[in-house]
Structure 1
Amino acid sequence: MKKSCFLLLIILISLTSYPQNQTFSYVALGDSYTIGEGVKKNKRWPNLLVKHLQEKSIEIELIANPSRTGWTTSDLIKKELSVFKSSNPDFATLLIGVNDWVQGVSVEKFRANFVFILDEILKELPSAERLLAITIPDFSVTPKGKNFANGRSVSAGISKLNAIIIEECKKKNISVVDIFVVSQEMGNNPDLICADGLHPSAKEYEIWEKLIFPVAYDKLK
């Protein structure tokens, strides 16, 4: 009897100590590019990313995407960070900044806001490894992109902000996926632009996701 109880105890211990697969809670922060302006919900790149990760046996759920079209870093701070914190996430992506440039926010203000956002996100995540930043795409190549230039060079302006994103993320050991160059292909293929003539199409988001996926997978596998 004692021997049977001992064997049962060993079995129970082995079962409870066996590592269980973790389900990651994912929050996507950003603007129109993250909320997928002009495409169906399941065609947004964060949704494509989750589906792809799940297909590779990564248990992950997109629990919140508070991103909105037109939002700047200041909007993200005021309206998205509270959602992020209340969601108790353990993985996040960040793609923000295009509207800062459109609205003429200074590079100094953008840098300060971006660093603040990074710091606030990192307070909630287990480590910097669980945050993935994405650079700002070059919308100047789209048919309506020039309407937002106001006499400025879109490519040059976005490149300055992207340099800040890469620099500040490097300081904090945060991975960055650079989609700037690949986004310029929208100028050569109208199928990569959605019907509004400004935002990426579902096909373009698929291209972005293919760049983002391997970095995210490496963090979560």
Structure 2
Amino acid sequence: MNKLRVISLLSVFFLAAIGAVSCSESQKTSEEEVSSEGKEDEKKEEPQKTVLFFGDSMTAGYGVDQDKAFPALVQEKIDSLGMAYKVINGGLSGETSASGLSRIDWFLEAKPDVFVLELGGNDGLRGINLSATKENLQGIIDKVQKEYPSTKILLAGMQIPPNMGEEYTADFKEIFPDLAEKNNLVLIPFLLDGVGGDPALNQPDGIHPTAEGHIIVAETVWEYLEPML
């Protein structure tokens, strides 16, 4: 009887030991899962920064699907490198520097970390007074810098056909480097470099790039944008 009692007690101790080990392993696994979930949450909570493209029909991607416009192609490049940046396309067809200045406040609610300014082309095509265009663009730059002093600004230079005369065309081209120098901005000398004037890369209007043209524009923008990210 005593032997049976001893065996019974040993069995109880053995089962208790197994239970303790099992609980310990279960607790360890649970702690590891919590730790792993914590790391995942940290990754999810990593703040995403914003790149705002603010422009006219070039930025909006007139005549092509939105995902073929150069801002979307820039987003693809950003994603492929695992960068925590979200691209916002603030392009509007027909936008002038004046209308851009009037609507910039609404877009600044996006709190851009990088602001790409692509405006002025429609001003030039319409023969708008150059001083007014320059003043409007400066006004946009001032608003961005005042609201978000740490925001980096990338200015897209533009050129126009000589329809308005050689002097107007030449002076228009100088607006962008002048603004870049005055405000210490990064400048893309000519947004449509390698695309403008090439019928194979432009739509029938001879102004707006095709999907193939946007690929080249995206490469041009990326050359100057990537070091800013």
TM-score normalised by length of structure 2? 0.73
CA distance change for structure 1 residues 58 and 157 in 2, over 3 Å: closer, same or farther?
Answer: farther
Residue in structure 2 matched with residue 104 of structure 1 by the alignment: 127
Partner residue, 1:143: none
Deviation track 1:36-64 (CA, whole Å, cap 9, x = no partner) reads 1111101111111111122122111123x
Instruction: Return the alpha-carbon distance in structure 2 between the equivalents of residues 45 and 181 of structure 1.
Output: 11
The CA deviation at 1:191 is 2.3
1:127 aligns with 2:150: yes
Residue 91 and residue 186 in structure 1: after superposition, are their counterparts in 2 closer, same or farther (change >3 A)? Answer: closer
Give 1:168-207 correspondences, 5 Å limit: 168-179=179-190, 182-183=193-194, 185-187=195-197, 189-207=198-216
Q: 1:198 to 1:181 in 2, by over 3 A?
A: closer
- Shift in Å, 1:35: 0.4
Q: CA deviation at 1:66?
A: 3.0
Q: Deviations over 1:4-51 (max 9, x none)?
A: xxxxxxx9xxx8xx9985421121111111101111101111111111
Tell me the SS of whatever aligns to 2:193.
Answer: helix
- What's the counterpart of residue 69 of structure 2? 44
Return 5+ residue gaps in structure 1 as ranges: 1-10, 141-145
Alpha-carbon offset, residue 91 of structure 1: 1.5
Q: 1:157 to 1:32 in 2, by over 3 A?
A: farther
CA distance in 2, matches of 1:137, 1:204: 16
1:1-221 matches, cutoff 5 A:
22-63=47-88, 65-79=89-103, 81-127=104-150, 130-138=152-160, 140=161, 149=163, 152-153=164-165, 157-179=168-190, 182-183=193-194, 185-187=195-197, 189-220=198-229
User: How big is the shift at 1:97?
Assistant: 0.5
Give the drift of 1:68.
1.4
RCO greater where, 1 or 2, for CA within 8 Å and sep 6 or more? 1
Which residue type is aligned with residue 24 of structure 1?
A: K
Contact between 1:90 and 1:124, CA under 8 Å: does it hold in 2? no
- How many residue pairs are counted as aligned between the two chains? 193
Q: Distance in 1 between matches of 2:99 and 2:156?
A: 18
Q: Residue 51 of structure 1 aligns to which amino acid in structure 2? A: E
CA contact under 8 A between 2:56 and 2:94: conserved in structure 1? Answer: yes
Please state how far the C-alpha of 1:203 moved relative to its aligned partner: 1.4
Q: Deviations over 1:135-188 (max 9, x none)?
A: 1144x3xxxxx8xx3xx23x76444223121111112211011226724x543x
| Distance in 2 (alpha carbons) for counterparts of 1:127 and 1:177 | 20
Tell me the SS of whatever aligns to 1:66.
Answer: strand
Whether the aligned pair in 1 keeps the contact of 2:191 and 2:217 (CA below 8 Å) is no
How far is 1:83 from its partner? Answer: 2.4
Residue 118 of structure 1 and its aligned partner are, at CA, apart by 0.8
Alignment partners' CA distance in 1, 2:189 and 2:174: 10
Structure number with bigger Rg:
2
Letter in 1 for 2:176: I
Partner residue of 2:20? none
What secondary structure is seen at the aligned counterpart in 1 of 2:90?
coil
Residue 7 of structure 2 corresponds to which residue in structure 1?
none
